[in-house]
A and B are shown apart, each in its own frame.
Chain A
Amino acid sequence: MLSARQLPKAKVPGKYFGIVRCFRYDRVDATHLSDFYQTEGIVLGEDVNLRTLLGFLEMFAVEVAGAKEVKYVPGYFPFTEPSIEVHIKHPVLGWFELGGSGIFRPEVTRSLGVDVPVLAWGIGIDRMALMALGLNDLRELFSADLESVRMRRSQYKIQ
């Protein structure tokens, strides 16, 4: 959505992102919520490529989520080719997907007047928080229980 609106007026090189609440038709469990935060981002540039895309994904996984183990697997999304999913390993929940990404198909970008490669991703903010805050269940992030919210310690690491 962001990319479709931003691309026609985007600068080269350019980086754009948004963080918004998204909704999905899914059964709610430890790693799925009916509404959740996601960050969508696009990067335009003459020299961006698969490896720079992996570089961004790595920053989300390692710097933001604080994951120790990260893997990139081929994925499928209709508007990108190639498409990549990024997965991280949580100490309790095991491997889960942090988000999807790819390089926009030229048919998509050219019709919007862009002729450089465009990286794009959608990354789950809450899933990164799950890892970074040491939680085992996404629902804790939206907890209504005042006592547990009041008593939550701030998380910071001196590196």
Chain B
Amino acid sequence: MPKIEVNEELFFGLAGKTWSDKEEFEEDLTVAKAELDEWDTSLSADRERTIKIELNDTNRPDLWSTAGLARQLRMYRTRSIPSYPFFASRKKALKAPYRVVVEKSVKGVRPWLAGLVAKGKPISDALLRDMIQTQEKLAWNFGRKRKGVSIGIYRIALIEWPVHYRGVDPDKVSFVPLQETRTMTLNQILEQHPKGIEYASILKGRPVHPLLTDAKGRVLSYPPIINSADLGAVQVGDAEIFIEVTGSDYPSVALSSAIMACDLADMGFEIDNVQVDYEYDTPFGSSVVFPYYFQEEVSVPLDDANRLLGSSLEMADALEALTRMGLCAYSTDGAVIHVAPPEYRNDFLHPFDIVEDIMIGVGMEKFVPQRPTDFTIGRLTPIERFSRKAKSIMVGLGYQEMIYNYLGSGKDYAEKMQVSAEGLVKIANPMTENYEYVRNSPLPGLLQTESVSAKASYPHRTFEVGKVVLKAPEVNYGVVTRQYIGFLTSHAQADYNEIASHVAAFMYFLGKEYTVRESSDSRFVPGRQVDVLVDGARVGIFGELHPLVLEAFGVMMPCAAGELDLEMLLED
């Protein structure tokens, strides 16, 4: 989930409210499904204070920017929806002062482009940082690491119009990219430039690569990799900028340019249109004026909304709630709600999506929890009932119940246990090596207790009922999860005889006939260990733990222990 960092002054200014109380701020953020991550209010105000905020809704990229998030909070409070008259649409033609030509040659590699021009005030340092953040969040999170969407920003003064977007041979074109001083071909950039290396997979091996030039043929950028050092550098103080969005997903490209346009308009810029002339047809036509509004109206009957919410809202309440969310909503017949999604949102997939906005607009506190009325009967699963029986027997035998984590280290699960890690399921991308393996036995946990509990008075008798994961090449997933019981007794006289008598009592109370057979498990002392067999099938093992195991866990007291597969014992 994306996290953004907003400049406090800029954010409060755009939101039209100054927060000083953290809890109130967190409360207000919930309407945008946003969470306060970090806000160090102790820093002095003249230093540029920033707030870190996490955004939970991955379908609302419009909230991943200072202006977008501030807009949602502002609309919720003021119920006033901003208008963005600079959007063209299928029904509304606009004349654009700038033009980009998209040539046929780029269609096969990265076909879509949208653009806009922002002017009218110099860009401050905070604004520039914010703009770069929005650009990165849209390209990285929404644009799937620049594959679906990437954004370039340019100083307009240097550009000769119209701009051209075309496909070129990556070995034949060269320019000086940002963060470099030498001329490089596109392929050299992919191989040697840090940004080229990072995003090479998007273009590697393609015969034609995308390139953006001005009318004189000077390079603006090599989307989605890097801008040119000459025409593609924006600085604090620039007052006229050109923004282009390219990508493989047209709605995402158009939406990203819409979000940037609305954000910049909210921040006081004038937005100028850019006409994009494609040499091929697109779902919005072959000549499209951006920013372009492409949302369709969505509708939901008020009754459906009330049924889903368990509420009895009047039409006026529902419309008011939607207004607070920033949605232009109306009803002609008093029964069906119609919503024209705002320019910067493309997340109305289903009528139910309107219902959630009604819910948030009304406010969660208005919905009173209602206890269930449907009467249904529940029962424990057979293995759960059986496990509880097993636990009560163990408690009766004087054993203390324990629970342990199922993830652990190779050191604890294999090395110290004197077994190979081959039998353990290994996690491919563990957070740390402390949680690298899934356990295949409850015994390492019980031994962990012995290693840290020497000061607890003896005897120690402990058990755990829980899952283990075993490799099983014969099944679909290659592993099986089993419910096991593990038990351990530790004191100066703990031996085979004691654990054998406890197993005998346990099996007696469960009504299980069993036999034993000498085993050779490296965790136990040879000659002092047996497999447990029920109807000829091996269901577990017990015996005296090997001195090497005890030594590895730093245990000085003799231990006898065992483990049984409860699921096998349950079968009859």
Contact = CB atoms under 8 A, between A and B. Distances in A.
A146 to B, nearest CB: 4
B452 A145 contact: yes
Interface residues of B, number: 53
B405 A35 contact: yes
B350 A21 contact: no
Contacts of A54: 367-370
B534 to A, nearest CB: 26
Given A55-B371, A73-B30, A76-B58, A141 B359 contact: no
B309 A49 contact: yes
A105 B370 contact: no
Contacts of B460: 146
A82 B374 CA distance: 22
Interface in A41-55: 43, 45, 47-52, 54-55
Nearest to A119: B372
A156 interface: no
A46 B73 CA distance: 35
A55 B405 contact: no
Contacts of B352: 81-82, 105-106
Q: Which of B353, B374, B400, B448 has the most CB of A within 10 A?
A: B374
Contact of A117 (B33, B308, B451, B467): B308
Contact of B367 (A21, A34, A51): A51
A75 interface: yes
A51 B310 contact: yes
Given A74-B30, A142-B405, A144-B449, A14 B372 contact: no
Contact of A55 (B31, B309, B311, B370): B370
A146 B404 contact: no
Given A50-B308, A51-B368, A103-B308, A81 B350 contact: yes
Contacts of A145: 449, 452-453, 456
A147 B453 contact: yes
Nearest to A22: B406
Nearest to B351: A106
Nearest to A43: B372
Contacts of A144: 402, 404, 445, 448-449, 451-453
B372 A56 contact: yes
A74 B360 contact: yes
Contact of A59 (B310, B311, B371, B451): B371
A26 B313 CA distance: 41
Interface residues of A, number: 51
Contacts of A51: 309-311, 367-370
Contact of A23 (B310, B350, B407): B407
A5 interface: no
A123 B196 CA distance: 44
A82 B352 CA distance: 8
Interface of A: 13-15, 17, 21, 23, 25-28, 33-35, 43, 45, 47-52, 54-59, 71-76, 78, 81-84, 103, 105-107, 117, 141-142, 144-147, 149-150
Given A26-B431, A54-B369, 20 more contacts: A13-B376, A21-B467, A25-B429, A47-B373, A49-B309, A51-B311, A52-B310, A54-B368, A55-B369, A58-B371, A75-B33, A78-B58, A81-B350, A81-B352, A81-B355, A82-B359, A142-B404, A144-B449, A145-B452, A150-B456
